[in-house]
A and B are shown apart, each in its own frame.
Chain A
Amino acid sequence: MTADLKSTALSQDTPHKIVIEAEAFAVEPQALAFATRMAAPIGARLVGCFVENQALMDLSDLPFASEVSASGTVRPLERERLIREWQGQAKQAENALATAAVSAGLDWGFEVRRGKPLFSMLDVVEREDVIVLNAVGRLTAASEVTKAVRTATHDIRADVLLTGRALQKSGMAWVEPNTTLVVLDDLTSRGEACCHAAEALALKAGMNCIPLRPQNLDLQEVADLVRRLSPNLVIADSASKLFAKDDDVTKFSKAAGCPLLLLGSERELTGSQGLPDQTS
């Protein structure tokens, strides 16, 4: 392994990045493993991002500001303590990322931003990067998550992996031989490109790729169908007709019960997506 590869600045010439929200892998460690496996074969840089919520900082200046702990205890929200705890969380996340990256021989970086969660992170994302977000079990309104996802896929044209506490197969990696990968094909050209990308990933990972071409099925019905197949991963086009409504993506992600990789729109989806080979 090489020595510390950390870089605090991102340059325009940096190849693909996998940007992973610190909260995502704090909740689901598999998210970091997946990100690492994606980054390795394409030489992408692994970047972690911890966002200090500005709103919380503002709140702490109010005299009555307090927080409720998981045990139900209410105590004052102190600015200094808040900053210390953020620093501790960020350091933990950075160490976890560094360990994963160094083990895989990847270039890595870690950003600490202050601003609006999800959206501040998008500042470091570029076209054809992959963003790993936690979509389930957070207080952020679903519409906010949808908005962030849409910004990432439609505006920035990056791919988004939505994670959360998976309901099945704890302890197993998402990309694992002899497991199932489902790809949603809406029978458009982008849907077809999405299928090719999924098949390439499945081939490299030794997974079984099952294309689903849901016609005349609504979102919930498709989610039920996916759940019955019990896949490790679902791949879909972010601009798919299936996600017509704003919060459809997050709804589908929760309903499917497994991670959802949304491929950014208007990308040329080649046969080789460069997704991780199982043997590497």
Chain B
Amino acid sequence: MALEALSPDHLYSNCDLSLFEFETTADLADVAGLVGQDRALDAIQFGISMEKAGYNMFVLGAPGAGKRTAVTRFLQASISTKPVPDDWAYVNNFATPNKPTALKTGAGRAEVLRSGVSALIEDLQGSIPAILESEEYKKRLMAIDAHYAQHQGQAFETLRITAEAKNVTVLSTPSGFAFAPQREGEVIKPEEFNELPEEERERIKETISELERELAEIFRHVPSWEKERRQQVGDLNREVAKNAVGRSIHDLAAMFEGNDGVAAWLALLEADLVENISLFTLDEREQMMTPSGPMPASALVEDVFRRYSVNVIIENGPNVDPKPTNGNATSDFIGGGAPIVIEEHPTFTNLIGRIEHLSQLGALLTDFSLIKGGALHRANGGYLLIDAMRLLREPLAWEGLKRALRTARIVLETPGDYLSLVSTVSLEPDPIPLDVKVILFGDRELYYMLAQADPEFLDLFKVAADFDDQIDRDAESDIFYAEMIATICRRDELLHLTPAAVGRVIEESARFAEDAEKLSLLIGPLSDLIREADLYARGDGADAVDAPHIQRAIDGRLHRSDRLRERSLEAITRDIVMIDTEGAVVGQINGLSVLSLGQASFGRPTRITARVRMGGGNLIDIEREVDLGGPLHSKGVLIMTGFLSAHFAVDTPLSLSATLVFEQSYGGVDGDSASAAELVALVSALAEAPLHQGYAITGSINQLGQIQPIGGVNEKIEGFFDICARRGLTGDQGVLIPHANVKHLMLRHDVVDAVERGVFSVYPIETIEDAVTLMTGIPAGMRDEFGDFPPHSLFARVEQRLTAFAETQRAFNNSSGEKAGGS
């Protein structure tokens, strides 16, 4: 039975506008949820509810599927029931300053601690100097100094009196003291001394030596007396400071009753304040120097008391105004519950936090007050949303995030420290416990690549929320689409659409989905189309967007990206690229392919030729021979070989040498959608039956000769149609497509119109027999009960040709063998 072409009804599926009972989409409410994403939404719900470690989420799907919107909406609904997370702050570790202490303070309490400590220090800056200037303190200090001065003076005075009693006086020298013999209050002159008896002289010398030893002993005690004096002054200062500081600390500690961490640190703060009370005196600060001289007064106070500041890293609570740490990140605190943080620039430091440095006189200095939190800090206790591709592009970010999730801690270190490139002393802040659910967004390829290449990935991201790209096209989905369009128009403040416009959008969505029975769920491109139509409608002064505006938007988009297609068409119509659309040629056929570059995607014909001769059973794919053929293409050729060898002259060795080539193709070929065309060309070459050049064919073939569906069927048909139309339709032109692709047809109106007028045809084929019969006009033939093809059938001619090759081959081999044996 002759194969019948498709009727126009099969080529395009119109939207049933009778479903829409509205004037414009303004009459419709916003879409309630996401239709067709039940699986993904169930996964999101599960992932949010599962609070165990490792149940982070990867939301996968094509861009524009509304993944982030859906997730955010889910989170908004759930976070208000979650507790507000604790605040965290870094404070000075007085014992080990390079290991700052992390303090948990309770939600909204970090600022209370910070301001409380700041007020305490400010208060002490007034009260401690006043105490140190008080009469009581000065009296006690003077008493200590007087005691030691007296003690020291007493020792000297005792020695002096002892010396006087022995007629020796003490004299002050430029660098110490000396003992001189005296008589009647006057030092003995040398000549007088020499006149003294020897015994007397010796006695004086001995006395003076003894006094010198005593004086030296006194001097050796002076440092220990001074040390005692300093200790007593220190004790006095500590006592005074404890009284002053203790009261204020106690009041502050009472505000954090029950918080052991804060209480412990406040105790250390008190001890440090007591030990360093001298910082509160102007004299002590005035002595502070930098390498280039005295520290400027303005910097003194701030710098000196920085050790007591509180660096709030994470701040939560109902009154917190979210502040992004960089220009790209945003965070939302909705309903006062757990935070939702969207990190748009997920670098290592933006995620983990960083330790800043100050440059002072050529040196880089840092301390706990220069620690800055990252997205993980802000999202702690809540949710962190990240684009997976952006994350993977940033050096160390992925590893840093995994480590944080794996250890459930945020360890602050610089990238240099992380890579062990830096050996200078730096900060090692206390890690902060991490309780966050990370939600990554990405396409499917990325998800499967990570699952395959990273052994940790599936352990840490156990939940995959797979967003579908399409839904079934039916009445319910048409209405959902209309509601979705209404939502977009309202959200983006666009003109609403008429039912006809909605219908056109739905049809274009099916075209975008490459399936007449499906609608695309990629909201991004849909929104773009409506926005562009809005521009045209407003330009026309219309109140609503109508179908022609949608069509203009579609045409405009095509036109803007059409340069490549035009050049391709021009190359063919000018015979630069040789494509026949009339006549018949043996072993030459029009295959079809789709070229996608940027926003341009169009079909175009390619000449495929086949040549055969007797040979050793080789089917040479020239594209593969020169490494222009990809693996899928090669697979198709091998399948074709399998069909041939199984279908024809099965009892005869395949004595065929054939070559197949995509003529004028220099850029590489992959995919098996042209394998049917190649087989038809080969059959034509074997049977020496010309192929109708007014037809083009697309389809993949299996070893049984069945035609399998392919992609891009609409573009391929339109690509060949455009060539035929440019040259003038003859009425005897068309495209052969796999029958399974009929449901995917959403052809342009001009193509449908041409079919309606009977000047172009689209044929659905199911087997290679359908294809060769249509393209040669000769029935393919089926084997009878004797296993023979009908005489003069196409396949009979093929088999005869192959048998002839085999016999010729055998004869040639015999002849060669006789010649060799005879010589």
B residues in contact with A61, CB < 8 Å = 189-190
Whole-angstrom CA separation of A86 from B171 in the bound complex? 14
Query: What separation, in Å, do the CA atoms of A56 and B189 have in the docked complex?
Result: 10
Residues of B within 8 A of A77 (CB): 173, 178
Tell me if B173 and A74 are in contact (CB < 8 A). no
| Chain B residues with CB under 8 A of A58 | 180, 187-190
1/0 per position for B164-188, CB-CB distance to A under 8 A? 0000011111111110110000111
Q: Residue of A at shortest CB range from B186?
A: A55
Residue of B176, B205, B216 contacting most chain A CB atoms (<10 Å): B176
Query: How many chain A residues touch B (Cβ–Cβ < 8 Å)?
Result: 35
Q: Contact partner of A68 among B180, B186, B189, B216, CB < 8 A? A: B216
| Docked CA distance A86–B173 (Å) | 9
B134: min CB distance to chain A, Å: 11
Which chain B residues (778-797) contact chain A, with CB distance < 8 Å? none
**Residue in A closest to B152 when the chains form the complex, CB atoms:** A137
A53 and B171 form a contact (CB under 8 A):
yes
Q: Which of A65, A71, A141 contacts B178 (CB 8 A)?
A: A65
Partner of B174, one of A85, A141, A171, A227: A85
Residues of the B chain whose Cβ atoms lie less than 8 Å from the Cβ of A59: 171, 178, 180, 187
State whether A56 touches B212 (Cβ < 8 A): no
Contact partners of A72 in chain B: CB under 8 A: 216-217, 219-220
Residues in B whose Cβ lies below 8 Å from that of A64: 205, 208-209
Q: A168 touching B142 by the CB < 8 A rule?
A: yes
Measured CA separation A138–B157 after assembly (Å): 10
In whole Å, how far is A111's beta carbon from the nearest beta carbon of chain B?
Answer: 18
Nearest CB in chain B: distance from A272 CB, A: 34
Contact with A167, one of B146, B177, B212, B213 (Cβ below 8 angstroms): B146
Select from chain A the residue with minimum beta-carbon distance to B217: A72
> Known: A56-B180, A67-B175, A82-B174. Contact between A171 and B283, CB under 8 A?
yes
Is A69 positioned at the interface, with any CB of B under 8 Å from its CB? yes
Asked whether B146 lies within 8 Å of A86 as measured between CB atoms, the reply is no
Could you tell me the distance between the alpha carbons of A89 and B135 in the complex, rounded to whole angstroms?
38
Across chains A and B, the number of contacting residue pairs, with CB separation under 8 Å, is 93
Q: How far is the CA of A228 from the CA of B135 in the complex (A)?
A: 8
**Complexed CA–CA distance, A139 and B176 (Å):** 11
A69/B193 contact (C-beta < 8 A), A167-B142, A167-B146, A257-B142 known: no
Per the bound structure, the CA–CA distance linking A66 and B171 in Å amounts to 11
Q: Is B126 an interface position by the 8 A CB rule? A: no
Known: A56-B178, A62-B190, A257-B142. A68 touches B215 (CB 8 A): yes
Q: Is A9 an interface residue (CB 8 A)?
A: no
CB distance from B454 to the nearest CB of A (A): 67
Known: A55-B169, A56-B173, A167-B142. A66 touches B180 (CB 8 A): no
- On chain B, the residues within 8 Å of A85 by CB distance are 173-175
Number of interface residues of B (CB under 8 A): 39
Do A230 and B135 touch across chains, with their CB atoms under 8 A apart? Answer: yes
A55 to B212, CA, bound (A): 17
Q: Does B99 contact A (CB under 8 A)?
A: no
B153 interface contact, C-beta 8 A: yes
Closest B residue to A53 by CB, please name it. B171
A66 cross-chain contacts in B, Cβ below 8 A: 178, 208, 212
B138 interface residue (CB < 8 Å to A): yes
Report whether over half of chain B's contact residues are helix, strand or loop; otherwise say mixed: helix
Contact of B138 among A67, A71, A138, A230 (CB under 8 A): A230
Does chain B have a CB within 8 A of A14?
no
A82 to chain B, nearest CB (A): 7
Q: Which of A155-176 contact B (CB under 8 A)?
A: 167-168, 171
Interface membership of A70, Cβ < 8 A? yes
Map CB proximity to A onto B425-462 as digits: 1 under 8 Å, 0 otherwise. Answer: 00000000000000000000000000000000000000
Q: Which of A26-65 contact B (CB under 8 A)?
A: 53, 55-56, 58-59, 61-62, 64-65
Q: Are B190 and A67 in contact (CB under 8 A)?
A: no
Q: Does residue A215 face the partner (Cβ distance < 8 Å to B)?
A: no
A67 contacts B176, C-beta separation under 8 Å: yes
Across the interface, which residues of B come within 8 angstroms of A2, CB to CB? none
Question: In this assembly, does A73 line the interface, its C-beta being within 8 Å of a C-beta of chain B?
Answer: yes
Contact assessment for A86 and B174 in the assembled complex, using a CB-CB cutoff below 8 Å? yes
Is B536 interfacial (CB-CB < 8 Å)? Answer: no
Complex contacts, B209 vs chain A, CB 8 Å: 64
Closest residue of chain A to B182, judged by CB?
A55
State A171–B631 Cα separation when bound (angstroms): 91
A67 contacts B189, CB within 8 Å?
Answer: no
Inter-chain CA distance A134–B70, complex, in Å, is 89
Closest to B172 in A: A139
Known: A167-B145, A168-B138. Is A53-B172 also a contact (CB below 8 A)?
Answer: yes
A85→B149 CA distance, assembly (Å): 27
**Contact mask for chain B residues 257-296; partner A; CB cutoff 8 A; 1 contact, 0 none:** 0000000000000000000000000010000000000000
Expressed in whole angstroms, the Cα–Cα distance for A73 and B178 within the complex equals 12
Bound: A66/B146 CA distance, A: 31
B156 at the interface (CB under 8 A from A): yes
Q: Flag whether B565 is at the interface (Cβ < 8 A).
A: no
Interface presence of B490 (CB below 8 A) = no
Listed in ascending order, the chain B residues whose CB lies under 8 Å from chain A are 135, 138, 142, 145-146, 149, 153, 156, 160, 169-178, 180-181, 186-190, 193, 205, 208-209, 212-213, 215-217, 219-220, 222, 283
Known contacts A56-B178, A71-B219; 7 additional CB pairs below 8 A are A56-B180, A62-B180, A68-B215, A70-B176, A85-B173, A85-B174, A139-B156
9 A-B pairs, CB-CB below 8 angstroms?
Answer: A55-B169, A55-B187, A56-B171, A61-B190, A68-B177, A68-B212, A72-B219, A137-B149, A228-B135
Q: Which residues of A contact B (CB under 8 A)?
A: 53, 55-56, 58-59, 61-62, 64-74, 77, 82, 85-86, 88-89, 137-139, 141, 167-168, 171, 227-228, 230, 257
Give me the 6 closest cross-chain CB pairs, A-B, nearest first: A85-B174, A55-B187, A61-B190, A72-B219, A69-B176, A72-B216
